[in-house]
Structure 1
Amino acid sequence: MTESECATKRIPVSPSTWRTVHQLRKPGQTYDDVIQELIQRDSEQKLIDETERIMKRGKFVPLSEIKL
């Protein structure tokens, strides 16, 4: 992250939330890195959940069956 992209922001969290985020940090990782990783995981999980929902509904068509 460049200096121009970096801005100090304060986000109030409970002590237990801070401890949890702190425990998720890997050596050399910033809190910003941890939050970005959590956002990425959440996005991936939403895609998985939506795909499973579509498949259960029975309206999923495998890509191999799509004719362009």
Structure 2
Amino acid sequence: MAAVKRIPVTEPVWRELSEMRSAGQTYAELLEDMIEERKKRRLEEDVKVWHGRRADEFVPLSEIKD
């Protein structure tokens, strides 16, 4: 069984989270969904940045030293 952790939140945040939950959805499931959405958004933002770069901004891997 997973360890139970408590995350203190303000009353307004608690209400917002409660309104976001689907019927039967646990808070853990809601948070998991929110985390996944955030990861996808970050990846999309990173891809947009990379697509906006010019080829001469990149360094060949062979030139990178540890």
TM-score range, shorter chain: 0.7 to 0.9
Which 5+ residue runs of structure 1 have no aligned equivalent? Answer: 60-68
Determine if the alignment matches structure 1 residue 21 to structure 2 residue 21.
no
Of structures 1 and 2, the larger Rg is shown by 2
**Normalization by structure 2: what TM-score?**
0.76
Deviation for aligned residue 1:8 = 2.6
Q: Name the aligned partner's letter for residue 22 of structure 2.
A: K
Structure 1: 4+ residue segments shifted above 4 A: none
Within the candidate set 50, 53, 56, 1:54 is matched to 50
Aligned length, in residue pairs: 55
**Normalization by structure 1: what TM-score?**
0.74
Which 5+ residue runs of structure 2 have no aligned equivalent? Answer: 56-66
Determine if the alignment matches structure 1 residue 41 to structure 2 residue 41.
no
- Deviations 1:13-44, CA, capped at 9 Å, x for gaps: 01111111111100010000000000000000
**What RMSD over aligned residues (CA atoms) do the two structures have, in Å?**
1.1
